A and B are shown apart, each in its own frame.
Chain A
Amino acid sequence: GAVVSQHPSRVICKSGTSVKIECRSLDFQATTMFWYRQFPKQSLMLMATSNEGSKATYEQGVEKDKFLINHASLTLSTLTVTSAHPEDSSFYICSGGGGAASGYTFGSGTRLTVV
């Protein structure tokens, strides 16, 4: 089945710095990947849809200039949190590949802590 590799699993950064999270499709070509955010005891919320070779589509309320998404190849999508602040601390998860029948595949997630 489809495998998605996400790195890093944990990152701590200082307020005002930027952090990049990578999401790689290991055994399939991902023309589309999804980025979610999950706060404690909350559901996964879609942040943006990443499209290979074109601009990402952001959900309402998500700042596109703060959460930069790059999907330059069929196997790599990246999310960069720019000028991070403590309120950006969350669990970020990417998803891609698979399908309805076999289930959409998720990465292992990145725990971001901004201090």
Chain B
Amino acid sequence: EDQVTQSPEALRLQEGESSSLNCSYTVSGLRGLFWYRQDPGKGPEFLFTLYSAGEEKEKERLKATLTKKESFLHITAPKPEDSATYLCAVERGQAGTALIFGKGTTLSVSS
């Protein structure tokens, strides 16, 4: 059964304090691993798609990496506006079908 597990559940950082979020996955043939940002009361906002081990993608202070068993979302010198819940997901079944999500990591960055 495809499964996505994220850790930690919550993370509190000081502004400028870099850290990483973890997403471990179990799927029968990875087609794509996704990172989304979700603000309270909003739908998820797309950040990255990773396809193969060794792949890395960056966007501002965020960098996502992928291995055969897990993905990391590195946050460098975070700012308070980076506070949100970060969701990891994998495609289920054939490409273009639904996503399986982890429970997310809620990040709080204080100034």
Contacts and interface: CB of A to CB of B under 8 A. Distances in A.
A30 to B, nearest CB: 12
Interface in A52-84: none
Contacts of B104: 43
A43 B41 contact: no
Chain B facing A: main interface SS: loop
Interface in B37-78: 41-47, 49, 51
Contacts of A107: 43
A103 B104 CA distance: 17
B31 A100 contact: yes
Interface residues of A, number: 29
Interface in A1-46: 4, 6, 9, 32, 34, 36, 41-46
Contacts of B49: 100-103
User: How extensive is the interface on chain B, given as a class?
Assistant: 20 to 34
Instruction: Tell me the dominant secondary structure on chain A's binding face.
Output: strand
Contacts, number: 67
A9 B43 CA distance: 10
B29 interface: no
B101 interface: yes
B31 to A, nearest CB: 7
Given A44-B87, A93-B43, A105-B46, A99 B98 contact: no
B99 interface: yes
B46 A104 contact: yes
Nearest to A108: B43
Nearest to A105: B46
A102 B34 CA distance: 10
A85 interface: no
A4 B34 CA distance: 18
Interface of A: 4, 6, 9, 32, 34, 36, 41-46, 49, 91, 93, 95, 98-109, 111
6 A-B pairs with least C-beta separation: A103-B46, A106-B43, A43-B101, A100-B32, A44-B101, A43-B103
8 contacts: A32-B96, A41-B9, A46-B98, A100-B32, A100-B49, A100-B91, A104-B34, A111-B41
